[in-house]
């Protein structure tokens, strides 16, 4: 699941909701020269708009702003320190001969499912060393298949289903035409510490240690703003769920995309801080973390946060994706794999 820091702690966030964007300075890229991922100059790409402030703000509000700026500065320091202390990512020989051979990765990451797909966590001592903000190369990774080779210029997110104005949005449109939100959020895999569970009773999941948990500063478009733009229909009309679909072609269920869904009232709640994220710790997303855009849904397991997002579909029924219905279903503690398969089917 994920937990976010309240937006009021960041001085620039409330302004960002009205169109002001104050991006982190991007650091040097660690991607290979032939990688489709490039570090973009967001300071130049983002429109710098100014919002008139109320001169009648109280001393208390000014104090909150000052605290927010201090917190933002602390995060900047953590991010810079984390980058400076890391060894360079490399082309790992273990990726040779796989569809991921083009991706550079931190050599200390512990692989949990062999050569491919890439599922990994950092050594726990390294995770603890870096404190609150996890450097991106040490952020845990859960992949179900090959990482899509994406291009910022060619990528678009389709929004369709029970909406009045179906549309496709390019990455530049998401960045330039919508407000942004930025906050720290902690992601954790639902399988974190499963190795200990497997010592008691073997599950069908692989052996995650205790480091499948990471915190980053994420920036992106509020989902509710996107759905308002396309005119999401009412619950009375049957618009009860918002489904998300990734780009991967995966084997689950005989072949499918990775997908999941949220109830419409959750998706439209601005206090939930649900975003289509395109930046992590001040840089564009890394390939393993969903470049160029992914969902960040604070308060939910990592499995709900679709990476390489391609489609958002407003529907009456929840997602029928194999990975929503079978792979990431949370059941009562007395339900084991055998009982689940008997009740839900294989």
**Nearest CA-CA partner of 142 in 332, 25, 308:** 308
In the numeric block, which tokens belong to residue 35? 């990688």
Question: How many Cα neighbours within 13 Å face the side chain of 281?
Answer: 24
> Is 218 in a helix, a strand, or coil?
strand
Whether 189 sits among the annotated catalytic residues: the reply is: yes
157-176 b/e (C-beta count within 10 Å ≥ 16 → b): bebebbbeeeeebbbeebbe
Contact (Cβ atoms closer than 8 angstroms) between residue 173 and residue 229: no
How far is Cα 91 from Cα 207, in angstroms, rounded to an integer?
25
How many Cβ atoms from other residues are within 10 Å of residue 92's Cβ? 19
How far is Cα 166 from Cα 202, in angstroms, rounded to an integer?
46
Which one of the listed residues 106, 143, 281, 328 is annotated catalytic?
328
- Bridge partners for 315 per DSSP: 241
**Residue 132 class from Cβ within 10 Å (0-12 exposed, 13-18 middle, 19+ buried)?**
exposed
Contact (Cβ atoms closer than 8 angstroms) between residue 9 and residue 15: no
Whether 168 sits among the annotated catalytic residues: the reply is: no
> Is 202 in a helix, a strand, or coil?
coil
> Is 198 in a helix, a strand, or coil?
helix
> Which residues have a Cβ under 8 Å from the Cβ of 200 and sit 6 or more positions away?
none
What's the first-to-final CA gap in the chain, in angstroms?
Answer: 26
> Which residues have a Cβ under 8 Å from the Cβ of 95 and sit 6 or more positions away?
101, 103, 105, 115, 116, 118
Which one of the listed residues 95, 100, 283, 327 is annotated catalytic?
327
How many Cβ atoms from other residues are within 10 Å of residue 76's Cβ? 16
Which one of the listed residues 100, 106, 189, 288 is annotated catalytic?
189
- Catalytic residues, by residue number, are 189, 327-328
């Amino acid at each position: 699941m994920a937990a976010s820091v309240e937006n009021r702690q960041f001085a620039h966030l409330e302004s960002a909701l009205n169109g002001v964007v104050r991006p982190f300075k991007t650091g040097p890229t660690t991607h290979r020269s032939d990688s489709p991922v490039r570090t973009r100059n967001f300071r130049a790409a983002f429109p710098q708009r100014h919002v008139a402030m109320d001169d009648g703000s109280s001393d208390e509000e000014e104090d909150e702003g000052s605290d927010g700026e201090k917190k933002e500065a602390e995060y900047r320091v953590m991010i810079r320190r984390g980058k400076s202390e890391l060894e360079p990512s490399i082309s790992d020989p273990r990726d040779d001969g796989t569809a991921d051979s083009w991706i550079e990765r931190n050599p200390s990451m512990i692989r949990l499912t062999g050569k491919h797909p890439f599922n990994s966590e950092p050594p726990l001592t390294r995770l603890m060393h870096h404190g609150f903000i996890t450097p991106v190369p040490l952020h845990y990774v859960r992949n179900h298949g090959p990482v899509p080779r994406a291009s910022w210029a060619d990528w678009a997110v389709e929004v369709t289903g029970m909406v009045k104005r179906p549309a496709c949005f390019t990455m530049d449109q998401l960045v330039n035409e919508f407000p942004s939100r930025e906050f720290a959020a902690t992601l954790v895999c639902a399988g974190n510490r499963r190795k200990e569970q497997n010592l008691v009773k073997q599950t069908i999941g692989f052996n995650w240690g205790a480091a499948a948990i990471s915190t980053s500063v994420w920036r992106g478009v509020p989902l509710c703003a996107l759905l308002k733009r396309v005119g999401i229909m009412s619950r009375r009309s049957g618009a009860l769920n918002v489904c998300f679909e990734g780009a991967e072609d995966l084997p689950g269920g005989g072949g499918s995309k990775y997908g999941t869904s949220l109830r419409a009232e959750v998706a439209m709640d601005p206090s939930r801080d649900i975003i289509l994220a395109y930046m992590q710790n001040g840089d564009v997303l890394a390939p393993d973390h969903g470049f160029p855009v992914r969902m960040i849904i604070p308060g939910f397991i990592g499995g709900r946060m679709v990476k390489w997002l391609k489609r958002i579909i407003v529907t009456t029924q929840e997602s029928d994706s194999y990975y929503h219905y079978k792979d990431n279903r949370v059941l009562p503690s007395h339900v084991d794999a055998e009982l689940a398969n008997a009740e839900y089917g294989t």
